[in-house]
Structure 1
Amino acid sequence: MSIELKMPALSPTMEEGTLARWLVKEGDTVSSGDLIAEIETDKATMEFEAVDEGVITQLLVPEGTDGVKVGTVIAIIQGEDDDATAAPKAAAPVAAKEPKPAAVAAAPAPAPVTTPVATPSHCSGDRIKASPLAKRIAANSGVDLAGISGTGPNGRIVKADVERSTKNTVSAELVEARPTADSRPSTGSGLTVDGGDIPHEVVKLSNMRKTIARRLTESKQQVPHIYLTVDVRLDALLKLRGELNASLEPRGIKLSVNDMLIKALGLALIQVPKCNVSFAGDNMLQYSRADISVAVSVPTGLITPIVTDAANKSLSKISTEIAELAGRAKEGKLQPHEYQGGTASISNMGMMGIKQFEAVINPPQAMIMAIGAGEKRPYIVDDALAIATVMSATGSFDHRAIDGADGAQLMKVFKELVEKPLGLVA
């Protein structure tokens, strides 16, 4: 029998993905466990294995196709017990089901999606009757006029027909308002709002970038952010880091400042549990473990691998774990459980010279710590003005879940742990 291979859900939240690459071709014989495709999710590119044996008779989704919904049939396998030479059913590209009995097959079939069965009244041979405005709207929206029924004189396609087809009056308004190339209004520097004659290229968004755009927009729209900043003296932490690295050198481990800040945030969340929470409508999730999501920049955007139970891990363990997770993150090889979840996040842009910034909360988490650069500044040390290495740390808190006073307490504890860093190794 024919076996349908469907777009898999490679993570609990995955709704669609990109079929990045086929690893087989039609006619290939596969066994259970063979790799057949690479699927790109919003966070990583993952391999898809066959779970049945047989011959690949149809690849229904071309490689590189975006927005393939979970559950969509992407290929057909002919089971080994069947006649593998039988031609696949071309009339049913989305399901390899047996033909219906004659009495049932007499029911009217749905119209094909891609090509009209009969030539519409607005088509005359290869010529389509449409108003110039309707043609411009269709071209701007990527709409095929051949699939639209015209309501104008003699079946002519008019503006309203295209708008009704696309269900997008915005594109029609943009086209209608757009001036001709010879009369485009200038903004004062010869620029136009649609790019006009400015040299540019259209860059296709990756699934990761689409997800980042959607989730962070939702965060800023739905989560009331409160920002709290403290200046933290780093001299003692830097001194301890140097001593620890000297002792860890034979083991090939080199601690970064960020490794130590991850540990400090984990401990602070355990000491101030009111900040180790998630807002859940009528409920609050109170976490007893601090899992820290660490922002890592990758070529396609940003991903946050997780250091689980950061408060109870040694600095050397955190360091080796982060190095390994960050490396696989940049290769797109993280598993969903390694970047989904977490109770709070840390984002460090100090290595790029950023003095201070306010990070956007990553729901359902309720806080994120933004770390700025450590720099020499005038600072009061033992009641006297001195020069110290100081960084600014800004906590972003979900005010629905965390009161300002509790956020301030977390920042206070974090500052103390960094300025008296022996607590990180105790």
Structure 2
Amino acid sequence: MPSPSARSSRPARLAALAFGLFVLASSSSGRQPGQAPAPQPAPLPVPGLAAAQPPKNGDAEIPEYTLGECIAIAIERQPTLRASRSSQQATSAGVHALDNIGKLGQLVAKDLPVRKEQAQRGAVAAAADVQKTHNEIVHDVTRLYYTAVYARQGSLIAEDVVAQVELLTKIGRDLLNSPQPGTMTKAKLNAMEIGLEDARKLLRTAQLGERKAYGALREMMAAQDTGPRFKVKDRELPILSANVPLTEELIVELALCRRPELALAAAGADAFRLEVYAQGAVRFKKSVPTLAIGGDIKAREVPATVRDLAQQYKPGAIIPEMPPQLVGNQADRVARAMAYSQRADAVFEKARNLVRLEAENAYLEYELASKNVLGGKRKFDFGKDLMEYVRARVDNPNVEREQLVRGYIDAAKAQSDYVESVWQYLLTLAHLERVTAGGVRPDFPGR
């Protein structure tokens, strides 16, 4: 008999299974009947950020893709999604094969009707796995796309800083070597040279980040060995403002109602429950194959618990267990199948708890990123004023050059911090979309 905890989780499990049967068979792009309208943030311009740059020599031939085009290419080409769809086709073929076995086969295999029911649960799990892979690809492409845009903006800021600091440092060298150096000393010039190297380091880091982001994006789009290289079309990061208030309760509810992982876990738990009936249908055999004989039920990726002191604590999932066959008389086999079924109930309950925790954390990260954007905007405004102050005094011999260098670097860092806060905010929006399986769908430009 199932434990009280297993009985309490059954309504949620059945709801997730029903969701899998109803939603996952339909298109992932459309809004399902009865679904509340997803929050649709409106794009706003990023004030003061780098303007679009004219193409450099040779760039005219390099294609530019919007976010939507990158996602479409990844959905079409990504081997991970093709593999999931192939597994789904194999599962469908297995269901068809079982359905083709007539009444004569049932006389030989008494558990055949139950095996057909288990095969249907496998079809639900396969569809859920395809949807899960699809959602992850959309998230990863969005993250990498805006990381490339962010790195490009960082490079533009760093290039401007290097150019200005080089100019100020050259003025400092000329003053020190002139007959009347004024207040310029070797120590002050050394401080300016240190600032210049810091600016160059910032530029190298931004350029490396852009190359790595493009490399990862090409891998997601399976465009490493086919076709020409490309550039992302966006020149600057957008700011998205939700016109529907997002709350922690809404995010958790959407995640629990829509995540394909829960439909997958529910289908598995139901298939394990049916194993009890399958074993009970075979009376006289001492060894009866189980649902695991047709495939490895532990093949799916299950994250382990992270308890490293250097990292955040992150709980892991539970893997189901079922041997390829159960041995013994009918009663013994049924009792053992019931124990594995109860473990499958625990697998679903743990998966549901992890989805809830992930949704809660995703909302907290979104809330923090929203506040950081507001603070970053204030720093950006202060940095802009400071940068104008420095530029206005470049030719003023009465102003200490090393102070101008440090002031310009601080102003550029304030701009860079704001761009980073916008980038982090966009990543949290993309994360919310994945966590809620599209329940929250930000209106990213070009998608």
Using structure 2 for the length normalisation, give the TM-score.
0.18
- 1 or 2, which has the higher strand percentage? 1
| TM-score w.r.t. length of structure 1 | 0.19
